[in-house]
Copies of this chain bind each other. A is one copy, B any other.
Amino acid sequence: MSLTIMALAEPNRLHIVELLRDGPRPVGEIADKLRLRQPQVSKHLHVLSKAGLVEKHQSAQQRIYNLRPKPFLELENWLESYRYLWEERFDRLDEYLVKLQKDETKKKGKKHG
């Protein structure tokens, strides 16, 4: 998870991933389409590879990179634990503020009594 997010946080790497969403691509084509230098693309792909986001297949001199599902699936699972944020009817903030209010009332009561 953390590795996945860190790999995706670099803008050019995110672009590469978004390009690969449309299908597998050799390094040179990625460099062309994104107007990056080949060595930087290779380096970014290396990082993405370490994070398990892409895999490499060889075809003559070319290296074809394509996305791997696992980290995306994991990201999706992680996100699920935040789904309550837009699905819950009432905010937890309200809850919290009401709780604070109550605690405050208690304190004052104690002091006086």
Q: Which positions in A face B, CB cutoff 8 Å?
A: 2, 5-6, 8-9, 11, 14, 21, 23-24, 57, 59, 64, 66-69, 72-73, 75-76, 79, 81-83, 85-86, 91-93, 95-97, 100
Contacts and interface: CB of A to CB of B under 8 A. Distances in A.
In order of increasing CB-CB distance, the 4 nearest A-B pairs are A9-B9, A69-B85, A69-B86, A24-B96
Given A57-B97, A66-B92, A86-B72, A5 B8 contact: yes
Integer count of this chain's copies in the complex: 2
B96 A66 contact: yes
A16 B6 CA distance: 16
A105 to B, nearest CB: 14
Contact of A6 (B9, B23, B76): B9
9 contacts: A21-B82, A24-B96, A64-B96, A72-B82, A72-B85, A72-B86, A76-B79, A76-B83, A79-B79
